[in-house]
């Protein structure tokens, strides 16, 4: 197994495990937000959740009248009571410059750690994005500049595809159509059977589908397209190793979630048996799975989801842990809203970004203007906005149509 990042020294086999953990723990203790951009406290006066049908916005205002706004994940339609009861109150009256500490302590407040996962991560990220947008506008800095150095002013993307429930030939045609709709140079496919979004307890996909799909995708798209594969935790260890060797044969770049996402020892077993880099992390909600896998050299690519994991600052800590051991980050990207914007702002600031990053099309119902980037895919890349905050301005008339959500 080999690290695949461009930043940081690889873990040394001779370095004691306790020493590796100490290095990672030191990283987790370091604040991410650059407080030096702010001379005075930025006290959070209000945190509002706004709704228009299934569209959710978060609007944050400081006592001095600064404002930031974010677009919520579609999951907020279920989770808005947690936003209002468990997360919003903790932010009120706090100094936004202490955002690292706020994000740490909110997990303790009201026993919120019992809600770990998307239930807490989505509301928390939605507020964090709005606070970062506000801070960026105050400092006249992009969010990327607030949480890191700008390493990637453009982010190269891969087309993420689905359709694992379809016959191979039909899937190929759908993938070709999606791939051709944008100027991309990389592609991710699904391997394994259908486990999710079905009530069928025995759903496993058509027999032999993966074995047929992998070589046909390579043949269809040729050697100049970077190919990635994701099994969404479908396989057992022996099956993951078998499929991983097939992916190696057809020169896939990495294998994502080969076994159940939180079975960290099994992930390492797969990684140790294969040459293809192993990626994992979209379902993780805490630091310690990443910590174990990095320290024990059980993973090559970390993949926190900026929404699910509770925001950009927490995800940056994972990125920096990975960088310290020569590993890369390819964050999972939630679709819809402005997920792609939040993702590329984050990737712009990480020192160890992978070659391509998740992309699920630019279609959105959000009405906004971006003055510093066309936000289009050109030669496989999206230019990251350089304006303050996230670099976009939501249409004020569209925002006004949203109503404040109350319990």
- Tell whether 214 and 312 lie within a shared domain: yes
pLDDT at 196: 67
- Tell whether 399 and 381 lie within a shared domain: no
Start-to-end CA distance of the chain, whole Å, equals: 51
- Tell whether 107 and 235 lie within a shared domain: no
Write down the residue that tokens 């953990």 correspond to. Answer: 21
**Structural domain harbouring 193:** 17-29+145-387
Q: Are strands 301-302 and 328-329 parallel, antiparallel or unpaired?
A: parallel
Calculate the average pLDDT of the chain. Answer: 94
Whether 3 is covered by a domain: the verdict is no
- Tell whether 57 and 189 lie within a shared domain: no
- Tell whether 86 and 153 lie within a shared domain: no
**Per-residue model confidence as pLDDT tens digits over 146-201:** 999 999 999 999 999 988 888 899 999 999 999 999 999 999 999 998 766 667 76
Number of domains into which the chain is organized: 2
Whether 7 is covered by a domain: the verdict is no
CATH code of the domain covering residue 61 = 3.30.390.10
Residue 331: closest CA among 86, 155, 170: 155
Q: Are strands 393-394 and 368-369 parallel, antiparallel or unpaired?
A: antiparallel
Q: Pick out the chain residues at pLDDT < 50.
A: 1-8
- Tell whether 268 and 286 lie within a shared domain: yes
- Tell whether 130 and 149 lie within a shared domain: no
Could you give the CA distance from residue 323 to residue 251 in angstroms, rounded to a whole number?
A: 24
pLDDT at 24: 98
pLDDT at 7: 42
pLDDT at 2: 40
Could you give the CA distance from residue 391 to residue 396 in angstroms, rounded to a whole number?
A: 15
pLDDT at 199: 73
CATH code of the domain covering residue 194 = 3.20.20.120
pLDDT at 195: 67
Strands (E) in 251-360, as ranges, are 255-256, 278-280, 301-302, 328-329, 357-359
- Tell whether 231 and 109 lie within a shared domain: no
Could you give the CA distance from residue 32 to residue 348 in angstroms, rounded to a whole number?
A: 15
Q: Is residue 370 within 8 Å of 114, Cβ to Cβ?
A: no
- % of the chain with per-residue pLDDT over 70: 93
Write down the residue that tokens 């044969």 correspond to. Answer: 249
Whether 4 is covered by a domain: the verdict is no
**Per-residue model confidence as pLDDT tens digits over 328-385:** 999 999 866 899 999 999 999 999 999 999 999 898 999 999 999 999 999 999 999 9
């Amino acid at each position: 197994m080999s690290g695949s990042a461009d930043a940081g020294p690889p873990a040394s086999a001779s370095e004691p495990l306790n020493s590796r953990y100490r290095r990672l723990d030191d990283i987790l203790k370091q604040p991410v937000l650059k407080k030096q951009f702010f001379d005075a406290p930025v006290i959070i006066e209000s945190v509002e959740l706004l709704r228009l049908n299934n569209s959710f916005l978060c609007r944050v205002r400081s006592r001095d009248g600064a404002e930031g706004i974010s677009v919520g994940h579609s999951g907020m339609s279920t989770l808005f009571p947690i936003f209002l009861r468990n997360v919003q109150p903790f932010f009120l009256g706090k100094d936004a410059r202490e955002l690292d500490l706020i994000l740490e302590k909110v997990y303790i407040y009201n026993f919120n750690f019992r809600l770990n996962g998307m239930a807490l991560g989505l509301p928390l990220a939605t507020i964090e994005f709005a606070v970062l947008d506000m801070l960026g506008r105050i400092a006249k800095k992009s969010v990327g500049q607030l949480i890191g150095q700008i390493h990637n002013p453009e982010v190269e993307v891969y087309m993420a595809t689905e359709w694992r429930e379809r016959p191979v030939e039909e899937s190929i045609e759908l993938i070709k159509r999606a791939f051709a709709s944008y100027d991309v140079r990389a592609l991710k496919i699904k391997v394994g059977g259908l486990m999710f979004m079905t009530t069928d307890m025995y759903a496993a996909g058509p027999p032999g589908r993966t074995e047929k799909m992998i070589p046909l995708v390579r043949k269809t798209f040729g050697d100049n397209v970077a190919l990635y594969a994701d099994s969404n935790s479908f396989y057992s260890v022996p099956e993951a190793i078998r499929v991983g060797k097939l992916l190696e044969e057809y020169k896939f770049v990495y294998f994502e979630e080969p076994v159940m996402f939180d079975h960290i020892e099994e992930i390492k077993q797969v990684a140790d048996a294969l040459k293809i880099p192993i990626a994992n992390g979209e379902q993780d909600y805490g630091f310690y799975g990443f910590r174990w896998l990095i320290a024990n050299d059980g993973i090559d690519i970390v993949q926190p989801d900026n929404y699910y994991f509770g925001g950009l600052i927490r995800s940056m800590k994972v990125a920096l842990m990975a960088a310290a051991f020569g590993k890369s980050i390819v964050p999972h990207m939630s679709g819809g809203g402005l997920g792609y914007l939040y993702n590329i702002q984050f990737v712009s600031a990480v020192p160890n970004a992978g070659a391509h990053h998740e992309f699920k099309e630019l279609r959105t119902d959000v009405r906004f203007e971006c003055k510093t980037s066309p936000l289009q895919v050109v030669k496989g890349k999206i230019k990251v906005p350089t304006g303050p905050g996230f670099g976009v301005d939501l249409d004020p008339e569209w925002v006004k149509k949203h109503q404040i959500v109350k319990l």
